[in-house]
């Protein structure tokens, strides 16, 4: 399976796991957000602490998938970026991803990675 097809497949299967009102933890798990609506164009979510909707476009989400494909050691954006925490939180729902922790400079850092099975599927072209 080529990378573009893999990304499309992953995006579609993520949409299959969503429903309006679904509560999702942010990537750091300190806050939750609710899925307001979703379509092939993207996902609208609302943070529990704010009455503000955030639109996570398909393009932005596919960008995360492409980073997951490119970086075998995982994706870790600055965790101060709330939008990135939401994107990674949504992708934690996907069975092709997992959260791993690494020790760096005496601190534990969380990364999102593709599972070994997902990487095999991507490499084998299935």
Q: Is the separation of the CB atoms in 62 and 89 below 8 Å?
A: no
Rounded alpha-carbon distances, angstroms, from residue 59 to 1, 44, 49, 83: 20, 13, 26, 14
E strand segments, the chain: 23-25, 32-39, 42-47, 53-57, 97-104, 107-114
Q: Is 50 exposed, middle or buried (CB count within 10 Å of its CB: 0-12, 13-18, 19+)?
A: exposed
pLDDT of residue 84: 87
pLDDT of residue 30: 79
| Kind and range of the H or E run holding 8 | helix 3-16
40-97 pLDDT per residue, tens: 999 999 988 888 899 999 999 999 999 999 988 888 866 557 788 899 999 999 999 9
Q: Mapping DSSP to helix (H, G, I), strand (E, B) and coil, where does residue 59 land?
A: helix
99-126 pLDDT per residue, tens: 999 888 888 888 999 999 999 988 887 5
Per-residue pLDDT band at 10 (split at 50, 70, 90): very high
Q: What is the pTM of this model?
A: 0.86
pLDDT of residue 79: 59
pLDDT of residue 33: 93
Q: Which of 68, 74, 54, 52 is CA-nearest to residue 11?
A: 68
pLDDT of residue 61: 94
On the question of pLDDT at 1 being above 70, the answer is no
Radius of gyration of the chain (CA): 14
Average pLDDT of the residues in 23-27: 92
């Amino acid at each position: 399976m080529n990378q573009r097809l893999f990304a499309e497949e992953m995006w579609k299967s993520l949409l299959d796991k969503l429903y309006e009102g679904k509560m999702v933890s942010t990537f750091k798990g300190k806050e939750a957000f609710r899925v307001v609506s979703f379509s092939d164009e993207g996902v609208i979510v609302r943070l529990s602490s704010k009455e503000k909707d955030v639109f996570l476009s398909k393009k932005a989400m596919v960008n995360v998938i492409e980073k997951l494909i490119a970086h075998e050691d995982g994706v870790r954006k600055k965790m101060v970026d709330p939008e990135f925490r939401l994107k990674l939180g949504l992708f934690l729902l996907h069975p092709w991803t997992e959260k791993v922790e690494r020790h760096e400079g005496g601190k534990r850092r969380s990364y999102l990675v593709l599972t070994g099975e997902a990487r095999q599927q991507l490499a084998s072209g299935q």
